[in-house]
Structure 1
Amino acid sequence: MKKILNIGVLAHVDAGKTTLTEQILFRSGIIEHAGSVDEGNTITDSLDIERRRGITVKSAAVSFMLDDMKINLIDTPGHADFISEVEHSLSVLDGVILVISAVEGVQAQTRVLMQTLKEHCIPTILFMNKIDRMGANYQNVYTMIRNLLDEHICEMSFVTEEGSATVRVDAADPDIDGWIETLSGANENLLHDYIQDIPITRERLLEELRSQTRQGKAYPLFAGSAAKGIGIEALLHALGEFFPANDTSELQHEPLSGLVFKVIKLPNGERNVYLRLFAGRIEARDEITVITQNGQTTMFKVKHLRALQQGKSMSVELIDAGDIAILITDELKVGDVIGTASDKMKLVHFQKPPIQVQVSAKNSAEDHQLHTALSNLTEEDPFLQYIRDTHTKEHIIHIFGIVQQEILLETIQHQYGIEAVFSAPQVICIEKPLHVGEAVEYMEECPFYATVGLRVEPGERGSGLLYRLEVELGSLPLSFQKAIKDTVMEVLQEGLHGWSVTDIVVTLTHTGYASPVSTAKDFRSLTPLVLMAALSQAGTEVYEPVNTIQFILPESSLSKVLSKLAVLEGTYQEPIFYNKAVHVHGTLPVRTTDLLKAEVHSLTSGKGMLSVKPGGYVKVHSNLPVNKRRLVNPLNRGEYMLYLNKIM
């Protein structure tokens, strides 16, 4: 019987996450010496840029053995701008170690990460790090954890002389440290025995903690120092105790099910695709089914198969259920499902980056190399969403924030040798159709050998673009059908106000052609006229991206904060007074969020904490933002026809 565990390490920036990863690998025998972030010699921060900045940008996976259990450990970024990397990893993890600094305590990103873990019921162990550092205060941070993260905390460590070189960490006493009170709330039998003063053994409490942790209902809290190796052995022992391992002997007989969660393109051009296998098994030369993110089903031939083994990537003939496979291929993308979807998959919704910037090379001769660099980087992180405008030749990327932009700029320079410059960031809005609109143009009445009729109507929220046929598929040659569909998708990148149109259903209602004179170009030229006429009849509404915010502040700062939220066009719910602080939940436009971040300290006299997460889109009611169009607007028929005459 083979057991496999896939775990992640998460934390706010600078809580010591990568240092902890190094200690785990050192203690498990993978490396001879634990690397240091300060010295830039860590195994998981393999990119030069990560070593220079001392932060993790790309998640790295490495495996080790713990007794008879194989553990795949995925180190992930801590900065909010790389939330897409974190979410990729969360979708395939069996458990997470959440690192919290004993000096800085719970920080804004810690709360965002913990909330995500709780929403998806991912088993989580908390590790209070830096217990030896000056300023460490175990009891204060423990109180912060209970107040700001979750009350269902079971202390696993007893700490003395924290904040000094003589700090000591011993095993906690369940009776003294209140395990019964914490665990009995979710177990009626335990609560009954507790109330009736029936003796409860430590073994029973430990088994209950195991059960509730695996269900995401309770959270063991360990303490230590990753830099000094204090508390690491107890943490390692806890992995098999509190996280649900995968039994390959049971899972390998189930239908094949896997999920692509990561892509890395190596300097030699090799593209490594990381796949978590939830059930079944994969063998070299297998032909397997792939379901892409847009729902299409294709077949894939496994030509090269690698596995994580004792800190290295090794060629293998077989990957068992529960393990991580590395496929060498240009075909698969993040989010692709292998075989069939499984209820074991924790499918996390990926938010799209709300900001766009234009990238250009200082040396115009390097424009093609810049295109190659951005294309490669987009393969690794598909939510970067790189677009090269076929008409203006502009390079446009979508990002989450300024830190991600800075990292990208450095990566382009150091990895590809290109000096690039970014334009000022622009918030990306979207459009949605308001009503139903229809239009049709017949070849007898227009300058094209084509007839096209289209109807547009609002789609369901989050449905994107749905393209349907109301005509027989055989009414047009397939090349003409494809020309219409492709053009519809291209034209809807710029709606009535210049923004991409989504949550729309487009139906092809009329077709016609004249054989043999009609060409696909006729349909590509006519479709924009018809589609924009239908969209103009339907009308569109503009939606802007917002962030959800959670603000914790002293009561004395409440009026100033609420006034500032109103000025910045935010919304908020009724404030909640809890533990001598005020909790304010609300939303804030992405375009004003940085203004609030910059004033948190002054608004709250340094005592406030602001957590920010992507929050979708809300309708703009006044002063509709207009995006500069890259293409000629087909609604201006004369200008559009002149444009066509120039390119024909």
Structure 2
Amino acid sequence: MQKILNIGVLAHVDAGKTTLTEQILYRSGIIERAGSVDQGNTTTDSLEIERRRGITIKSAAVSFTLGDLKVNLIDTPGHADFISEVEHSLSVLDGVILVISAVEGVQAQTRVLMQTLKEQGIPTLLFMNKIDRMGANYNRVRTMLRNLLDEHICEMSRVDNEGSTSVHVDMADPHNSGWLEIMALLNDELLQDYAHDVPVSSERLKEELRKQTRQGKAYPLFAGSAAKGVGMEPLLAALNDFFPVNDPSELNHEPLSGLVFKVIKQPSGERNVYFRLFAGKVQARDEISVTSQDGQTTMLKVKQLHALQHGKSAPAGHIDAGDIGILIGSELRVGDVIGAVSDKMKIVHFQKPPIQVHVSTKQPEDEHKLHNALSDLTVEDPFLQYVQDTNTKENIIHVFGKVQQEILVETLQRYGIEAVFSAPRVICIEKPCGVGEAVEYIGECPFYATVGLRVEPGEPGSGLQYRLDVELGSLPLSFQKAIKDTVIGVLQEGLYAWSVTDIIVTLTHTGYASPVSTAKDFRSLTPLVLMEALNQAGTEVYEPMNDIQFILPESSLSKVLSRLAALEGTYQEPEFRNNVVHLHGTIPVRTSDELKSEVHSLTSGEGMLSVRPGGYVKVQTTIPENKRRQVNPLNRGEYMLHLNKIL
């Protein structure tokens, strides 16, 4: 039975990530010749937009074999706007190849990616690409890697004549490359031997490097040219050595555990659901349990099953533990858990993009087509969040940045839709700051219903929790559902018209009059009760932030700190290392673009800024209010007129 390995290729835009993927597929016999990003004929960039722009947008999965090892390779986006898709892809990987350009060296997104890899403890090989390009400087970039990414980097390559077509790459000698000094920092026995000049064999050093790499503590550095195929053999040979492989003969007998990480909707309308199986075995016609992101568990009958085989998707009777499978026609979504959660699995919690835009069409008759297209795209990409306002019928999407929006415009053109986008707006959230209760009784209100609700703060990141403090059978299920669904809808606009989160809503009172009560009574009464309870509790507004990491010359520090303060950012004590300043801080999303645009002028072209989502912080100054899209139930008279269709 073949052993299995799942790897990813990551990089800053234009470092050569997709070119490296093409070279790997060529070397492993999957394609007859390596495609070129410049020529737009790459294997994994399947979208026409990807080919034209030369950037990867959607993670693509393809498999190949190296000897008796099956490797599933996931080619992921490199642009900062797609960092969430990158982070989600990492949840199903055993290891990563991080590509760095030998010309440009460490770039802003390289640092963001490396930080994420280190936080998740994912084994990582570094590949210094473009070693043949004019301007390539192996020693300079190696020093950058150690100064800016991690000091525990062991050179695997010796490079001669870099920056020219006659570049030559050989395997490095462990002793001459200083492996012992690097790995002794993480191994007390090696440190003792090093301190007492005890000879250490090359084999012992290689074995220790394998161990530390698999633990995500050390990082082998390879060099080469993906476009020319230089340095590829040592890199491919290292996959089996430095990454932890999966043995299905052992894992197949464990309880079923898998994770959906990708959904593709085919032009025919059929959905292909990609999942990584961590343990257990899935066979066609099996009935398996599936737990969705909201905690609901259902049973799924496996009808059509495909596997990744030799660069293609092919029908399969089963999927072994450790492998990637494809469920054909399934309604599962990204983030759904197959079987049970295991300790091998990294559960991804989707961050809500902080920027909102309204989307419409130039041709009014295309509105329905737009709604269907956005609904399809949201299924494929849960990081692109789309809702249609029930009252105004406005199409609202949330994005992470400008490039993501530009890609969306071009994607909609594939559907034959000319889309128009409003100016982007930063979205805040509300959280309750106290406890509030309200109740309205049948006979004392205009509805044949009794509803009582209590609201209170939930744990950070918990979202909305809906609980019952009444017996489930005290109310018909259709009425229970009407209350819960209405609670979810009403909390889209809190006291300041922002979405309310991290809140616990408990149903405390119920009552109805049979047979006159209807679900409409409960849908009409619930907003009045809920908003009164929320008004008693009070809410605080939080705005989205970005975490930033600055690397800059000391001469620019005062200018950067002054500008950061003016943009309402914060910063920690600056660190002075290797003749540069490392500055960590936060900045509101609403002022982030200004800072990004000024990095060059603030640092005389010598600074580097890394930006990643940084959660939310409470607004301390003037509280921003959102434009309310639905009638506020706190204005009881206006709300009742609205219900009666007078307004």
The two structures have a TM-score, normalised by structure 2, of: 0.99
Give the CA deviation at 1:125: 0.1
Q: Deviations over 1:185-222 (max 9, x none)?
A: 11111122222222211111000000000000100000
The match for 1:504 is: 503
The match for 2:517 is: 518
* Structure 2, unaligned runs of 5 or more: none
The match for 2:117 is: 117
**CA–CA distance in 2 between the matches of 1:348 and 1:390?**
29
In structure 2, relative to structure 1, the CA distance for the partners of 1:504 and 1:181 (3 Å cut) is same
1:13-412 to 2 correspondences below 5 Å: 13-412=13-412
Give the CA deviation at 1:349: 4.1
- Check whether the contact 2:271–2:331 (CA below 8 A) recurs between aligned residues: no
The match for 1:442 is: 441
Counterpart check, 1:432 vs 2:428: no
Give the CA deviation at 1:316: 0.6
* Structure 1, unaligned runs of 5 or more: none
**CA–CA distance in 2 between the matches of 1:189 and 1:149?**
26
Counterpart check, 1:470 vs 2:469: yes
Give the CA deviation at 1:647: 8.2
Stretch of structure 1 that moved more, 363-372 or 468-477: 468-477
- Check whether the contact 1:88–1:262 (CA below 8 A) recurs between aligned residues: no
In structure 2, relative to structure 1, the CA distance for the partners of 1:226 and 1:208 (3 Å cut) is same
Aligned residues: 647
Counterpart check, 1:591 vs 2:590: yes
Letter of the 2:505 partner, please give it. V
**CA–CA distance in 1 between the matches of 2:481 and 2:258?**
31
**CA–CA distance in 2 between the matches of 1:346 and 1:500?**
28
- Check whether the contact 2:85–2:383 (CA below 8 A) recurs between aligned residues: no
Give the CA deviation at 1:348: 4.0
The 3-state SS of whatever aligns with 1:597 is helix
Give the CA deviation at 1:266: 1.3
Give the CA deviation at 1:116: 0.4
| Aligned residues with identical type, % of pairs | 79
**CA–CA distance in 2 between the matches of 1:115 and 1:346?**
16
Give the CA deviation at 1:462: 1.1
- Check whether the contact 2:22–2:35 (CA below 8 A) recurs between aligned residues: yes
- Check whether the contact 1:431–1:540 (CA below 8 A) recurs between aligned residues: yes
Alpha-carbon RMSD: 1.0
- Check whether the contact 2:554–2:581 (CA below 8 A) recurs between aligned residues: yes
Letter of the 2:539 partner, please give it. T
The match for 2:612 is: 613
The 3-state SS of whatever aligns with 1:627 is coil
- Check whether the contact 1:573–1:584 (CA below 8 A) recurs between aligned residues: yes
Q: Deviations over 1:524-567 (max 9, x none)?
A: 00100110011111110000000000001000000000000100
**CA–CA distance in 2 between the matches of 1:350 and 1:390?**
24
Q: Deviations over 1:220-250 (max 9, x none)?
A: 0000000000001111011111001001100
**CA–CA distance in 2 between the matches of 1:557 and 1:194?**
40
**CA–CA distance in 2 between the matches of 1:106 and 1:622?**
38
**CA–CA distance in 1 between the matches of 2:346 and 2:193?**
35
The match for 2:627 is: 628
Q: Deviations over 1:20-58 (max 9, x none)?
A: 000000000000010000000000001101001000000
Letter of the 1:417 partner, please give it. G
In structure 2, relative to structure 1, the CA distance for the partners of 1:145 and 1:349 (3 Å cut) is farther
The match for 2:558 is: 559
The 3-state SS of whatever aligns with 2:99 is strand
**CA–CA distance in 1 between the matches of 2:321 and 2:614?**
35
Stretch of structure 1 that moved more, 180-189 or 28-37: 180-189
**CA–CA distance in 1 between the matches of 2:461 and 2:106?**
33
- Check whether the contact 2:335–2:348 (CA below 8 A) recurs between aligned residues: no
The match for 1:544 is: 543
Give the CA deviation at 1:382: 1.1
Stretch of structure 1 that moved more, 325-334 or 57-66: 325-334
Letter of the 1:509 partner, please give it. T
- Check whether the contact 2:87–2:116 (CA below 8 A) recurs between aligned residues: no
**CA–CA distance in 1 between the matches of 2:601 and 2:348?**
35
Give the CA deviation at 1:2: 2.1
The two structures have a TM-score, normalised by structure 1, of: 0.99
**CA–CA distance in 2 between the matches of 1:70 and 1:32?**
19
The match for 2:490 is: 491
